[in-house]
A = this chain, B = another copy of it.
Amino acid sequence: MRVAIGSALAETTPLGVSRADLDRLDERVGVAADRIERGRAAADFGYAALDLPERTDPAPIESAAASLADAETLLTIGIGGSSLGAATLARALGEDGRTLFLDNVDPAHTRGLLDDLDLESTALNVVSRSGTTAETLANFLVVREVMDEAGVDWTTRTVVTTGDSGNLRELAEAHDLPVLAVPDGAPGRFSALSPVGLLAPAFQGADIEAILEGGKRVAGGLGDSLFETPAYAYGATAYALEERGANINAVMPYAEALEAFAEWFAQLWAESLGKDRRGQTPARALGATDQHSQLQLYRAGPRDKLITLVRPRDRPNLPIPETELDGIGYLSGEDLGGLLDAEFDATAASLAESGVPSVEIAIDAIDEHGIGELLVGMEAACIMVGELSDVETFTQPAVEWGKQATRDLLRGEGSLPETPTLVVED
């Protein structure tokens, strides 16, 4: 992984960090890096995520995938951290449409998805650590009934990914289903490189050992200086810019295959760092498409953003044919990837020209090794920001209120607090 922070320096942008400030910050990075390593050594909750690439045994995952090999489609039922890591890996490594994800509880969508599925050839992976996640269990109950009604034996091709005990564990025992273990040591958003994230790419035929290798390369190489460790260079820069007013972190990969990565990143960043009235808001973008949507704002809007540009160094070749059409002769003989990279460079320069800080993150290629590096690199970066910000990176207490209120509403217990009414209707 390569992280370039020159365009986030005070020399480039009024919001930027000076080299002297970076030097001072690096002392704090060293202290934080030491704490992270102690957390890993003690297998403390959260920190242990950095050792998942080392600890995760690919064998049971590959074995579960093999047991589903005669299925045409794998439908993963899970939400948040039980879905986004798997989706990120599956989408980065293939667009073959064989892996589907059902997270939301939208009756129109769930119905439409089930209508389109060939149930006979669909495998299920139900993912919930507790076995009681409302959305996941509700969707599973619906899907199971539809299969029952169609005379399809859902127990023949269902994998359960869950914790050591609870509903789904018992269900698996009752029906003799293969079980994959949600790892103990980390919240869902940090568990992509575990069975939680790896079954879907394994089903697609990806080399999950190479994903783990990529993760290990980053996790094994974490040093104690931002000037030597790309992940910490990114995390420390994001922290420094947040301190200087960059409340927004617009993550803009220049690769369609990384669109789901931007969603995964958005959960990682928001749920880990959005605490104590702190935390950058992740804005999910996609280059070059969002040059035609968000770039006007990024360049000319408030100075409250860091733009994180991500790209692979290698892209497949796809030449743009010669053309007789007026005004686009400059495209003739170029490659589509050359156009995309020129747009990347021009956008980076246009941000610098207007005084907006950006960081460039590059991986060698969007392949197993590269995506493994990228995910673990961003996890390490996020943990570093959490240390520097002094927040509890691995919890998400603010979501509990709404979960309880939802249960109360459905149970007919209690009622929501009143809010003032001001309704305008036509």
Contact = CB atoms under 8 A, between A and B. Distances in A.
Max chain B C-beta neighbours (<10 A), residue from A3, A271, A336: A336
A299 to B, nearest CB: 4
A345 interface: yes
A71 interface: no
Interface stretch (A52-60, A98-106, A194-202): A98-106
A120 interface: no
A410 B226 contact: no
A342 B348 CA distance: 43
Given A297-B281, A346-B402, A327 B426 contact: no
Max chain B C-beta neighbours (<10 A), residue from A217, A315, A320, A421: A320
A343 B105 contact: yes
Contact of A409 (B267, B304, B320, B342): B342
B279 A302 contact: yes
Nearest to A327: B132
Given A230-B426, A300-B276, A398-B354, A110 B167 contact: no
A247 B246 CA distance: 11
A258 to B, nearest CB: 10
Given A275-B296, A286-B104, A3 B423 contact: yes
Contact of A349 (B255, B273, B294, B416): B416
A298 B274 contact: yes
A401 to B, nearest CB: 5
A426 to B, nearest CB: 5
A35 to B, nearest CB: 20
A4 B422 contact: yes
A122 to B, nearest CB: 16
B402 A343 contact: yes
Given A229-B424, A277-B300, A297-B281, A325 B288 contact: no
A273 B9 CA distance: 27
A300 B339 contact: no
22 contacts: A2-B425, A4-B424, A6-B421, A7-B420, A9-B420, A95-B109, A108-B256, A108-B257, A138-B331, A141-B331, A142-B320, A167-B327, A221-B426, A266-B293, A270-B293, A278-B302, A282-B283, A299-B401, A342-B406, A346-B406, A349-B405, A353-B401
Interface string A320-338: 1101011110110011111
Contact of A301 (B103, B277, B320): B277
A261 to B, nearest CB: 13
Number of copies: 2
A18 B408 CA distance: 31
A110 B335 CA distance: 12
Given A106-B315, A135-B339, A137-B331, 20 more contacts: A1-B425, A2-B423, A3-B425, A5-B423, A12-B420, A95-B116, A106-B337, A106-B340, A108-B256, A109-B256, A137-B328, A166-B326, A167-B325, A167-B327, A267-B293, A281-B305, A296-B397, A296-B398, A338-B410, A349-B417
Interface in A112-139: 112-113, 116, 131-132, 134-135, 137-139
Contacts of A254: 106
A248 interface: yes
B316 A296 contact: no
A33 interface: no
